Structure 1
Amino acid sequence: MNFTKEQEQAVRLRDCDILVSAGAGAGKTRVLVSRMAEMILDEEHPLSVNDFLVMTFTNAAAEEMRERITAELDLRLEKEPQNRRLRRQVRLMKHADISTVHSFCNRLIRTHFNEAGIDPSFRIGEEGELFLLRQKAMEDVLEEAYESGRESFRRFVEAYAPGKNDRMIENLIEEMYRFSRGFPDRDQWLIAVREEERLLESPETVTKSRAFLTLSARVRGVLEALLAEVEAGLDLFCGAPESERFDALLTEDAEKIQALLEEEDFDALCEAFAGLKLANLPRANKKEKEWPYLEEAQALHKTVREELQQIRQDYFLYDLRELCRENRELSGCFEELITLSGRYEELYFQSKKDRNVYDFDDLEHIALSLLVESYGEDGQPTPSAVAKELSEKYKAVFVDEYQDTNLVQETILNTICREGNNNLFVVGDVKQSIYRFRQARPDLFLSRYDRYHKTEEAAAGGLPTESQENPAAGQPAGVRVELRDNFRSVPGVLGLCNLVFSRLMDRQFGGVDYTEDIALRPGKGGPMEQEKEESEMLLLIEDAEKDNLAMEVHSVEAETAMIARRIRGLLEEGYGYGDMVILLRSDAGRAEVMAEFLTAAGIPAVCESRTGYFQTREVQLVLNYLAIVDNVYQDIPMASVLLSSIGGLTEEELARLRVLTSAPTRQEYAFFDLIEIYLAEGKDEGLREKLDRFVEQLLYFRRKKKEMPL
């Protein structure tokens, strides 16, 4: 089995924690499987399958890893059929601790149900069931608060629910609850949050707050990007005799942006934005109209004006002292929100416990309560007896997709892999982190990445024992291994990816600087065929002025039409249909539509449908029609039916229905209201006939609904 140098290091290194930064197609699963197999087969210090804990992100990944490790051991067993120990390890693989984090937590809770105070026959609730429990808990929380007559609650409602319902404060409570669940210790988190709020209440301390620093970094990032865009424009299309006035205009734009970047004091920056004036676009004269880059220069100046105006409106309309005064006045509201979200968490959890039903977040937090004895003032956990037992049991801990780990999962890991165990092996790629909306913390990956030594440094100076960045901190540091070789794609594809992301991704946007050190490179033994043609990128630019619905219904068809044109071009170049494939990030709701469109355009196309019977387009159409027969004010089913053969409207007509209605507040109307308005006021006779026919049929079925069930 041939490994690259880096893969070999990831498989063979021992006696240290290891982070493997593995780009797409770099063979990370092969490395994980091979490392585990090597540790089992090690002649000097062999480990048993029972000594491993392997955490993956999905059940499918866990099953694949189990199968591949078993296959690896089976292969060795064929060469050593008399090896009893190896045969036993193969049998043990069926019960190996290879699972998702949630499955691990599930097993842990059922094993230690008595310590957790949980009935071991619990189950994971269905989303609909949990939604009803959340709804009931929210109703109870607000009912309690209203009955209490608390002044703080009254002010909270006045500030955040001025309308006729409590929807906004319900959303705030739910959001606070969900966010707090991403932290191992809610009390420690609240201490930090309250300190942050305290900093926001005074002009002397506000600039030290995380919110202010984040805001400052965001504004600076936008200004720097804008400056780079203007400078690139000056380099690219200015300097011609006919561009003299636009050269001066864009140069002035760049100077004003640079002046804003040089302001370090917030008040001074507010004044600078307040007094900021950019010249209007000059009317192009005859000579300038012949300049090929006139539209680009005009658009760039317009972008600068709009971006700076947006920054001013978003961040610099108010004086810093006024903002701090408002924060002081709202501090009581914030404390009330903390109280409400805490009570909501308490009632929601109790209702789940009463029914012996939990969600996946509960599994993590209950497992964490079993593994942590207490938290120190610095927030560091003290492992419990259960955690110490597990740290003795597991001689090697593997974590896949580490970039999508959250703080609770990280704490679970840290209690099992105690300091000095040197048995943690994590694999991930911060560039592929896509679960931040689920509280994933790619910064945990980056922290280890920055702290750990490169393999070359480890080889030169022995295994590291302290941080690269801050040796005085005394934190144990491990070794990081970079797997950059891609064995999945051809050089042209990799080159295009590197080109795009080297310009898009940096530490602030994407979590990492996309430098040569982490760029993808073709791996030897991969698809290295030299391409006669380079990769090309086709861009479909939507009209931002169009109605959102019109854009949505057009997008798939427009994209497929562009693909169809490219396919015909390739056919003319001598390629066959069998030489082509259309790859989608997800085929949900798109693959079948594209296949139908291509077939209608005379291009044979087939897709592997994973859609169940009730998810097919035809059945969904009937269900949507039944939905509007029951209730004509359901906009999504209504739009679906109007665009089908039943309604007969084109996408343009549906958009016209929305846009051309004379009612000034048309956005507040449902589609059925808009239909009635258009029937009374619309100018397009053909569209009115379609709508009249559609409404007549719909009302007929609504009358029939009273005579027979839906």
Structure 2
Amino acid sequence: MSADLLHEADANQARASDPKASAWVSANAGTGKTEVLVKRTLRLLLDGARPESILCLTYTKTAAAEMQNRLLKELAAWATMPAAELQTKLAKLMGRPPEDQDLSGARRLFARALEARGGLKIHTIHGFCERLLQRFPLESAVTPHFTVLDDRDAALLKRSAFDTVVARAAEDRNSMLGRALDTIITVAGEEYFRQVVDTVLGKRAELDRMAAYHDGLTEWAEAEGAALKQLFGVAEDTEDALVAELASVLSDSEIDAALSAFASFGSTTDDARTEEGLRGAKGSTGEARAAALKAAFLTADGNPRARVVSAASRRTRRNLPRHWPPPEPRGRTRH
């Protein structure tokens, strides 16, 4: 049975390497895909294709180098191989006995490949696209003679640009950038802020689409916020009204009742987390109270906690507020 499988695999590879066939090969790693591409390229060369007219694209530089090395190694071997051995190799590759012109042509292919203008065209997809842009910069609307940054240089340039913009914002605190910086430094540290900026830079295409959706308005961010409020059913509410609603899901008296109920039993992880949030909310107002209540009832991802209180606390519902847990405020998903 194994012999039959091997024979079938060889037959499939032979069909895929035939230049006259349009083939799509899908297989696991290490099963011979690169070998098929090498054989197909060799057969194209044997059929008279010019080396510089053949394009092979790979995903990685390693794969491109491996394919080129295999091709050149095989062609170099053909140049000096005994006639009988070369005839056997070509017959197996071509699926027919080679003619004299096939043998003589095969011996010249190594020199033709080396002399080909630009060498063998075996590139990564990124490398090939870079070469196209380098050759047609004006048509592609890119700067001529550009270079591609590596990851290290790109990171250094982004850090330098970040520092420059922050310094400019700090010099003029009344500018738009200055006001934005004042807001950011109250809620995030420098490194976290850098991470946020890197994430935003990685989503530039999406942000451009958002801006275009709002007809390029300078205040497109506010327009996007309004669209989200419309989606969550709170379009008519101001930010202050939404915060006030979030902060009022429990009154101080209800919080006191809940804390009293927790004090009647031993503390569990669920109770302790909820109690901490309630204590933070009591006596607070506005955004601080809303944030404390959010920590009590929602996970770090903003989803409802699976269990707000322990089973023992649940059995004492008469000591807890009448509606426990409190109902979800409108627009909860927004937070």
Tell me: higher relative CO, structure 1 or 2? Use CA pairs within 8 A at least 6 residues apart: 1
Into which bin does the TM-score normalised by the smaller protein fall? Answer: 0.3 to 0.5
TM-score (norm 1): 0.25
TM-score (norm 2): 0.48
Greater C-alpha radius of gyration: 2
